[in-house]
Amino acid sequence: MIQFRKTILLFLVTVSFGLNAQNTFKNWPDIIRKNDPSWYGTDEAKKIAENVLLYQRNIGGWPKNIQMQNPLSEAEKQNLITLKSDLHEITTDNGATCQEMLFMSKMYAQVKDDRYAASFLKGLNYLLEAQYANGGWPQFYPLKKGYYTHITYNDDSMVNILNIMKQISEETNYYSIKPSKAIVEKTKKAFDKGIDCILKTQYKQNGVLTAWCAQHDEVTLAPANARAFELASLSGYESSKIVLLLMSIEQPSPAIITAVKSAQAWFEKTKITNLEEKRVLDDKGKIIDKKMISAVSAPPIWARFMDLETNEPFFCDRDGIRKKSIDQIGSERRNGYSWYSDGPKEVLKKYPDWAIKNGVKVTAKEAAPAKKNDNVVLTVAQDGSGDFTKIQDAIYAAPAFPYEKVTINIKNGTYNEKIRIPEWNTHLTLIGESKENTIITFDDNFKKINLGRNSTFYTYTVLVEGDDFSASNITIKNASGDNGQGIALSVVANRAKISNCAILGNQDTLYLSGSSTKQYFKDCYIEGTTDFIFGSATVLFENCTISSIKNSYVTAASTPQNVPFGFVFKNCKLTANPEATDVYLGRPWRIYAKTVFLNCNLGKQIRAEGWENWSKPDAEKNTFYAEYNCKGEGAQTTKRVSWSHQLQKSEADKYSTENILQDAVVNWYSK
């Protein structure tokens, strides 16, 4: 029955992936953030892009709360053309302008239409123009009378802008459109001014720095009112994103360090752990009532509005009269507004590592392994100095489907164990004391397992089934020797990151599977003989050394037909033992295999033809084997088999980290 369920699940995943080029999201922000990169090359995306271009005003910004994907009549299109020069209702509120710029960047990454690049750059210029001399941004620009002129942190408006400035000023690859050096310099100055504004608006309570208000007066920088129910107050929601932005700055100034320390202390002081929100829904899933109920050791939450002097939470209806609880205000505001947030939890989670990195003393309470609802940290040491002497025992002790990361620190030693991380052990991280001396080893192979034709898949030393897995500073070895198939590491999980690890074996060393899984190997050493990197997953190998023990094949991908990327090697080095003089880059385990080498150093062991069809003539028509800008004695591009490819730069540019691993999860991989 379990195998039957797995088969059905695999079928459903395969079917859904075949349809992923069709947009299935109803809301405009979801369309931008959740679609697969390949969708942006579809006709559907191009039609939406035409709408986005129409909605953009000549000044560069967009109005808010527009469902850009909705079809437009000819009359509506003409009206939008007429509105191009209109200077009203152009904003960064509710994600406007920032999200449309992101959409244009994603479009340009797939379709090199110069209008998309021009639209993005016009939006960037709009943001630069809208900045106040003091570094802040208003909610609307050109300015709209009323509270809209205040410096606006509300709904992360200013943080969204500063994140754009940060990405562009640091010349990262987050956006596909690259501004001129002059514009990059402007974004650096804009970012620095914005951070200075943030530091100056951090509220002092009896001389002690705390947090921020959703709005600050554009002249005095004091906390300011907005709508009737949005009185000047310290914000538990908006302040969290501000602090996360400050924490993302490399080599922070003493003023930034003080701001983060002060905000962290305020978050600790103001967290609420004795209340939980209960929502009552109707048959259509709409919220019809919210209640706050008492609870013991509830996950921490923070009020969105807190008194400037006492930190006491308060709530308002449209009459602007402060109340002490949400049940004292009318249902329209009670149910239609977010009065509490768990956003600061992310600050408290990241603070200890940030503090240590930046030379800030961390208290025992801050550094202690967290208990309920926080990170779990376990230690494995063979000498008995940790929580466990065996790695598998620590995994057994880890919580199932945790809300937060579970870290298992492994002290130096050789652990003769066969390790399985089940699918319910998500968010698990293994960290070795050192790659050279933290060794997990076992010696299963095909003949030893002897369970029939699929025995290979049971030979693993380490099997990872739980999603959101990471490992670093570890050697994982199949010690059975050159005795047939023997997997060292088998990863069937989604969002797996392996860094600074050694993966050692012979035939079938590294198995990477899953028709829709994304995995990332960075700074690793991977060694084997025949097909020693094989499977169906989408995997990015970056800055890795790939070493062949004897003459054979490096890869054997089985990429599903509709998956855009298979195995991608970037900036890797392919080496070999002296006896290995005839090595193929790959052969297709299944006929739709995809394997690409970019900017790699290929040793002299690589055969001139490069690739082999594994006696599958159909594979020559359906595989995608390619190289770009590779160097070394093995990079004999003119002698490659005719059915492989040498990419142009424009084609190679599509192999960005964001495209391969998907933008929806790429931030996870960067952690």
Known catalytic residues are 508, 531
Asked if residue 458 lies in contact with residue 451, where contact means CB atoms within 8 angstroms, the answer is: yes
507 DSSP assignment = B
φ, ψ dihedrals at 423, nearest 5°? -65, -20
- H/E stretch holding 496 reads strand 496-499
Chain centroid to CA 299: 24
CB environment 45-57: b (16+ within 10 A), e (fewer)? beebbebbbbbbb
Task: Identify the CA nearest to 184 among candidates 124, 131, 136.
Answer: 124
Rounded CA separation 532/147 (Å): 63
**Measured distance CA(585)–CA(578) in Å, rounded:** 17
Tell me the longest C-alpha to C-alpha distance in the chain. Answer: 83
Contact 538, 563 (CB under 8 A): yes
End-to-end CA gap in the chain: 37
Alpha-helix residue ranges (DSSP H) falling in 388-483: 391-397, 446-449
**How many whole angstroms separate alpha carbon 428 and alpha carbon 410?**
13
Q: To which H or E segment does residue 577 belong?
A: none
Closest C-alpha to 607, from 568, 639, 572: 639
Distance CA 243, CA 525 (A): 37
Contacts 24+ apart (CB under 8 A), 268-271: 268/348, 269/311, 270/234, 270/236, 270/302, 270/303, 270/306, 270/311, 271/300, 271/301, 271/302, 271/344, 271/348
Give the strand pairing for 525-528 and 502-504. parallel
- Residue 391 and residue 380: Cα distance in Å, rounded? 6
Output the six-digit token pair for 571.
């900036």
Helix, strand, or coil (residue 197): helix
- Residues listed for the chain: 671
- Residue 367's alpha-carbon distances to 350, 525, 625, in angstroms, are 11, 32, 48
Residue in 403, 409, 411 with CA at minimum distance from that of residue 371: 403
Give burial (CB, 10 Å; 0-12/13-18/19+) of 469: buried
Cα dist. 650→94, 103, 149, 647, 654 in Å? 34, 20, 43, 8, 7
Helix 114-130 vs helix 181-201: angle between axes, to the nearest 10 degrees? 40
- Residues facing 215 on adjacent strands: 152
376 vs 601: CA distance, rounded Å: 41
